[in-house]
Amino acid sequence: MPGDGWDTAERVAVLDGPTTGIGSTMSTVGSSVESAVEDIGAGHGPAWLDAWIEDNAHRVVAWRRHIHAHPELSRAEHRTTAFLSDRLARAGLNPKLLPVGTGLICDIGPDTAERTVALRADIDALPLTEATGLPYSSTVDGVAHACGHDAHTTILLGAASALAEAPELPGRVRLIFQPAEEVMPGGALDVLNAGGLEGVDSIYGLHCDPRLPVGRIGTRVGPITSASDLIELRLTSPGGHTSRPHLTADLVHALGTVITGLPTLLSRRIDPRTGTVLAWGAVHAGEAANAIPQDGVLTGTLRTGDRDTWAELEPLIHELVHSLLAPLGVGFDLHHRRGVPPVVNDAASTEIMREGITAALGEQALTGTPQSSGGEDFGWYLEHVPGSFARLGVHSNVVRPKDLHQPTFELDERALLVGVRAMVGTALRALEN
């Protein structure tokens, strides 16, 4: 329909939605636009929000399918940024490009407002090859939105468009479309360096959770994700013949000592209630069965749910590695790359978010959620202002859920409108305080 502000890509994404599911499951997730735009929270929110969703639900689904089909890796989200900038401008807003070249900050409401609340979404994709078989699957080889960032982005774009049409706002809402969440230490630092939280009183965000059914949102006071660091340990030895290990330093034996010994020692030096976990992901040394190699590399991740423990881990890991390797005669170089802090939800902000979700969706939408060992750079924001991070249910009861970061990950698109309602409700409630 000419003149209605829709791109061809958006219209095709809506009209050509999938009619079957993945493989033999015959999933109905996203099987039609009609099922995808079911408004689970209708009647709970303000009347103007109900009206906006009724008029724009199809467009929200189209945005998500377009973004999903055109994923971009961290710090390369140029087309995604341009797409968002255009839609925000059509809504009468004035988005600002981050200095790093991708990502946007956009305010709704007067600069003189007494309170400012921030809403954040991450816009980058993963280096994975999608295997969902959906008609709007990734069109980019080796890149896919397998973590739900396309949904996060769409939800915030929908919330922005709805808030832009609100009769009045009791303050200012700052929209943060953040790049590079999937790389450490995360694009949240780009936002902070650009002054993205200047004048902000609190910040809120959502992340897809395939363990929760659509229509439910999990909240938690305190840590909801963990700090996540990378460890690379490089060992060196003169090398030698495996028949005479006593004449050299047995590097492979030393690697094995660290692989089994370091997690054990760590568990005796760190309070287990902190949820500190060291897990190895890769090890490489040598080529020949009868030759002791001269070098080897061991890499893994170190996670903790406690902010104070995170600050203590780097010197402790170095101490423990030294104690394990000193008797073995091998040299080592330990590179401890600090990643992101844990996301620790403020009690007052979490209560505000719960109240906003209840107002927008009803009490049945709320549920609890456990702490995750996964990392999330939203924690950097909470180092500066209070806020809360929640989990958005995206699991359809029709199919067995696929986990995040799997090539087959897919979500129930009804969660998009649930997310829009939740973010709008949270922003309105936060501005009232």
Domain boundaries for CATH 3.30.70.360 within the chain: 227-340
- Mean pLDDT, residues 112-136: 97
Binding site annotation covers 182?
yes
241 is in an annotated binding site: no
Under 8 Å between Cβ of 44 and 361: yes
149 is in an annotated binding site: yes
The pLDDT tens digits of the residues spanning 60-85 come to: 999 999 999 999 999 999 999 999 99
66 belongs to an annotated ligand binding site: no
- pLDDT of 426 > 80? The answer is yes
C-alpha 214, offset from chain centre: 18
CA torsion 289-291-295-300 (nearest 10°) is 20
Q: What is the CATH number of domain 8-224+343-432?
A: 3.40.630.10
- Asked whether the predicted pLDDT for residue 389 surpasses 70, the reply is yes
Is the domain defined by 227-340 classed in CATH 3.30.70.360? Answer: yes
Q: Which two tokens stand for residue 307?
A: 């902010």
293 CB-near residues (< 8 Å, 6+ apart): 237, 239, 251, 252, 285, 286, 287
Measured CA to CA, the distance from residue 76 to residue 350 in angstroms comes to: 33
149-200 confidence digits (pLDDT tens): 999 999 999 999 999 999 999 999 999 999 999 999 999 999 999 999 999 9
Question: Quick one: pLDDT at residue 5?
Answer: 43
Start and end residues for every CATH 3.40.630.10 domain found in the chain: 8-224+343-432
The band of 430, judged by pLDDT with boundaries at 50, 70 and 90, is very high
Indicate the pTM of the whole model: 0.90
CA-wise closest residue to 62 among 406, 390, 417, 353: 417
- What is the C-alpha to C-alpha distance for residues 252 and 203, in angstroms, rounded to an integer? 48
- Does the structure show a pLDDT above 90 at 363? yes
Q: What is the pLDDT of residues 315-336, one digit of tens each?
A: 999 999 999 999 999 999 999 9
